[in-house]
Amino acid sequence: MKKGERTKEQILEKAIEVFRDGGFENGSILMIASRLGIRNSTIYRYFDNKEDIYNELAKMFKNGLLDRIKSSINENLDIPQNISNITRAYISYIKENTALYDTFREVEFVNLRLAKEYYRELTGIIKAQLDKKAREDIDTESVSYAIVGSIYFVVINEFIWGNGTKKPPEEIIPFILNGIDIGKEFTPYLIPEKKCIDTEKTITSRGEVTRRNILKSAENLFGKYGYNKTHTVDIARACGIGTGTIYLYFKSKKEILSDIVKYVNHLLRLCSSEYIRDYSDRRAVENAGFQAFFNLFKTRGDDYRIVREAEFIDRSIGVWYYKRIAESYIKGLEEGVKRGEIINIDPVILSYALMGVGHTVGIKWYVIEKKQSINENSILSVLHYIMHGVNGILKEEG
């Protein structure tokens, strides 16, 4: 390797460390140069700015993962076998490139165009497999996102957050292929949309009103412009108050973000409870619970973006959000297994897989496409996948 090529490689290696430690926004050319023990000017021989460096890393991950997945496909195998191979290739590549992947996950907030390109190409590979034999009523594009989601949080929880079960993430493959319905008898169905009424205490004092207005204004600005591009003075201006007033209620902008994430978590759990209260069979609970998620965020897409971005501002905030959901999820899954309703997979792995399905389908509908209404067939397609997996959405033989 020539000296120039090695220097460029070292810059990228250190950039991964810098962006992973503090996120893209807090990273800088100076920090990368400092870790390498070189001058800033040396880096500028290879890259125009830190965005240029990040984009190089993001493309490196994207192209490496897609090449690994493409090479895992064998056209002599059937669709379920190839989907299994794709899953294993995805997991193995991330295991081998965890630091790079951790940096890449911020891509939708740094370069949305590249994020869209990544998801389109990744799901396109899966969709090409499904389209060979999927039933005509199945939205294979949405199901492809759901398949990616089935792996997404499982590998993050295991390799990045360090909260996994220490069992191989590949244990999720039976769910991907066959869904949760062990008896193959549950038919997904749509339920009437419900109103989710916030049961938080009634605001009575002037101070409580001000605090709520600060949160609402911040929620709107974070969702529209992003956390880093929103300043405390912007929030104050939107509320019609002085900047100093905000600090009477919150210690920092990050504390405002934390409270918004907690509120969204509260609202999701509240809405889910409203949808699932009439059901005890775990399959019916999942059928209703996913519709609660989809219906809640179709008009709150910006909130979904805030929750996603929170992890990259302060990992503890984002991890808390998903861990809180998983904790309540696990008990219900364990009971469903005991009653013989759903597949017997480690409940931690399954809970993160199911959350991941909602997550990636949510990215498609609410972040990439910014939809506020979802085709009923698309919702049913995702529900069919959750219940019966890849095998359940394919045409029957003969």
In the predicted model, what is the mean pLDDT of residues 56-83?
Answer: 97
* Band (297; pLDDT cuts 50, 70, 90): confident
pLDDT tens figures, 181-205 = 999 999 999 999 888 776 555 666 8
Burial class (CB in 10 A: 0-12, 13-18, 19+), 15: buried
| Residue 201 pLDDT | 59
Whether residue 296 contacts residue 372, with contact meaning beta carbons closer than 8 Å, is answered with no
| Residue 123 pLDDT | 97
Name the one residue in this structure whose structure tokens are 């008896």: 183
| Residue 227 pLDDT | 93
Q: Enter the DSSP assignment of 228.
A: T
Cα torsion at 280, 286, 292, 298 (round to 10°)? -170
Dihedral over Cα of 324, 266, 385, 78: its sign: negative
| Residue 40 pLDDT | 93
pLDDT tens figures, 300-320 = 878 878 988 998 999 899 899
Structure tokens at 78: 């059937």
In angstroms, rounded to a whole number, what is the distance separating the alpha carbons of residues 66 and 297?
29
Angle at the Cα of 277 from the Cα atoms of 275 and 282, rounded to 5 degrees: 90
- pTM of the entire structure? 0.93
* Band (372; pLDDT cuts 50, 70, 90): confident
- Cα–Cα distances (Å) from 133 to 137, 395, 397, in that order, read 12, 6, 10
| Residue 165 pLDDT | 80
CA atoms within 13 Å, Cβ hemisphere of 121: 17
The fold for domain 1-47 equals Arc Repressor Mutant, subunit A (1.10.10)
Q: How far is CA 144 from the centre of its chain?
A: 14
In angstroms, rounded to a whole number, what is the distance separating the alpha carbons of residues 108 and 396?
38
Dihedral over Cα of 115, 117, 122, 126: its sign: positive
343 three-class SS: coil
Q: Enter the DSSP assignment of 133.
A: T
Enumerate the domain spans of the chain.
1-47
Does residue 17 register a pLDDT over 90? yes
pLDDT tens figures, 243-270 = 999 999 999 999 999 999 999 999 999 9
